[in-house]
Amino acid sequence: MTDLTRLTAVETREAITSGQASAVEVAQAHLDRIAAVDDRVHAFLHVDADGALAQAKRVDAGEITGPLAGVPLALKDVMTMEGIPTTCGSRILEGWRPPYDATVTARLKAAGVVILGKTNMDEFAMGSSTEHSAYGPTRNPWDLDRIPGGSGGGSSAALASYQAPLAIGTDTGGSIRQPASVTGTVGVKPTYGGVSRYGLVAFSSSLDQAGPCARTVLDAALLHEVIAGHDPRDSTSIDAPVPPVVDAARLRDVTGLRIGVVKELQGDGYEAGVTARFEEAVETLRGLGATVSEVSCPHFDYALPAYYLIAPSEASSNLARFDAVRYGLRVGDDGVASLEEVMAKTRAVGFGAEVKRRIILGTYALSSGYYDAYYGQAQKVRTLITRDFQAAWSQVDVLVAPTCPTVAFPLGAKLEDPLAMYKQDICSIPANLYGGPAASFPAGLSDGLPVGLQVMAPTLREDLLYQVGGALEAALPAQAPTLSWES
């Protein structure tokens, strides 16, 4: 019998509807796979075997149908799921079981998706390597000594090691796309407001956006359709139809599409292998009938510094809710210590180094006397970057760039140098500040490690991302990790 863990989501659903396999068998195969390999990969923080099998039984009983009914999924641990531990990779939420489902979680359940468990992440989604998880790093299935990207490294590693065909990520500055790039998987950041943030534990509220992760473009599109759409519980949710992403993924044609290569996202600092694969992928798209030109976005150079003012500022405010009163950890409550002392002790013990760094940075940037010089100026950069995108759309349909300047780097390589870690996000941040959709698609290997092509599109034109991704996927040779560590 075929190995059920190697199937795409589409193939999995076909296997279930044709009677080749039951949803319970599919779920069990993935639970067995997790048990066999996750001690080495560490993609999951919590596995919900009982819940997964119960959901699979409902699918087998015909209670839920639909294109993803019975397909397993790995859920990033930043998304609430009723009764299931949700830690955001932090000690401060250890043991907390949310009393409600995030809208994304509820929509997955209603679609019959089988949620296997919660995946590892940099604490509160702050990081690019998953090394900032309080529960230990996740490893890249292509090379266990390398990072799987971050913050959603658990989700990307689960896909690349065949522990799940689908995953949910969240992307504030690249946390879906950079992990996809370095694990050779597909990751899509929808338009800001395209997917509800209700139940997504907030990091930077004006930037956070959940999205689909998968091994194929069509699988990602099917997942996108399930989770996207207006939600009255999120006041920033866009009340507009979901773009036709599934049709676009099936099109596999870019004839006449105008592609702009971002001038500022190449050159010094980009690994030669990344540049080579990127340029070949662009040539492939040109060969498929797209027109290619270079487009200058002069303010993209300022996206990274603006982001590292805006995101920590919003984080310092959002993370104030972890006050040792309403959920999670409480340290030092000896009957004598004051509320303030208990709060300060709890937060010192409960938060890791990167979260503390960003809280202090954000507190600084928002403090009187500095607000105008830092946060206020960063918001102006946001306007300038948006103008760059709008100017680009008068010339081209989509913009492309490498997703990340490097392939997966060795664990520990950037842990002591925060600024070097932040530079992993240099290509992905502009789309977050602008708010439009962006995706990373596999673009081949450099010395055996995956390289990602990033596509950026106008607001609510996710279909263009899937159109490019689908065409590229069909044209490039299939790539898969050897998983030599398994033998």
Partner 1 sequence: MPEADAPKIGREEVAHLARLARLALDDSELDLLAGQLDVILRAVAQISEVTDAADVPPTSHAVPLENVTRPDVVVPSLPRDQVLAGAPAAENGRFRVPQILTDEA
Enumerate residues 286-315 that contact partner 1 by CB under 8 A: 299, 302, 305-306, 308-309
Which residues 223-282 are close enough to bind partner 1 by CB under 8 A? Answer: 232, 235-236, 238
304 token code pair: 């990274």
Which residues 374-433 are close enough to bind partner 1 by CB under 8 A? Answer: 374, 376-384, 386, 418-419, 422, 433
Binding mask 178-207 for partner 1 (x = CB under 8 A): -------------xxx------------xx
Nearer to partner 1, 276 or 366 (CB): 366
304-310-314-315 Cα dihedral, nearest 10 degrees: 30
Task: Tell me which residue has tokens 């995108």.
Answer: 389
| Smallest gap from residue 1 Cβ to partner 1 (A) | 43
- Residue from 278, 351, 409, 441 binding partner 1 (CB under 8 A): 351
| Smallest gap from residue 87 Cβ to partner 1 (A) | 12
| Smallest gap from residue 171 Cβ to partner 1 (A) | 13
SS3 116: strand
| Smallest gap from residue 248 Cβ to partner 1 (A) | 21
Nearer to partner 1, 38 or 354 (CB): 354
16, 27 Cβ separation under 8 angstroms? no
Binding mask 449-468 for partner 1 (x = CB under 8 A): ----------x---------
Binding mask 313-342 for partner 1 (x = CB under 8 A): ---x---x--xxxxxxxx--x-x-xxxxxx
Which residues 30-69 are close enough to bind partner 1 by CB under 8 A? Answer: none
Spatial distance between the Cα atoms of 480 and 450, rounded to a whole number of angstroms: 9
260, 290 Cβ separation under 8 angstroms? no
The catalytic residues are: 76, 151, 175
Q: Which helix (H) or strand (E) holds 314?
A: helix 303-318
The Cα-based distances of 389 to 171, 207, 225, 384, 437 in angstroms read 19, 16, 25, 9, 12
Span of 210-218, 349-357, 390-398, 440-448 interacting with partner 1 by CB under 8 A: 349-357
Nearer to partner 1, 270 or 434 (CB): 434
SS3 26: helix
Span of 126-134, 250-258, 366-374, 476-484 interacting with partner 1 by CB under 8 A: 366-374
Spatial distance between the Cα atoms of 394 and 438, rounded to a whole number of angstroms: 18
- Residue from 22, 25, 49, 96 binding partner 1 (CB under 8 A): 96
Spatial distance between the Cα atoms of 329 and 146, rounded to a whole number of angstroms: 31
How many residues line the site for partner 1 (CB under 8 A)?
A: 73
Burial 235-270 (b: 16+ CB within 10 A, else e): eebbeeebbbbbebbebbebeebebbbbebbbeeeb
Nearer to partner 1, 353 or 480 (CB): 353
412 token code pair: 């520990």
Nearer to partner 1, 154 or 435 (CB): 435
Spatial distance between the Cα atoms of 221 and 246, rounded to a whole number of angstroms: 5
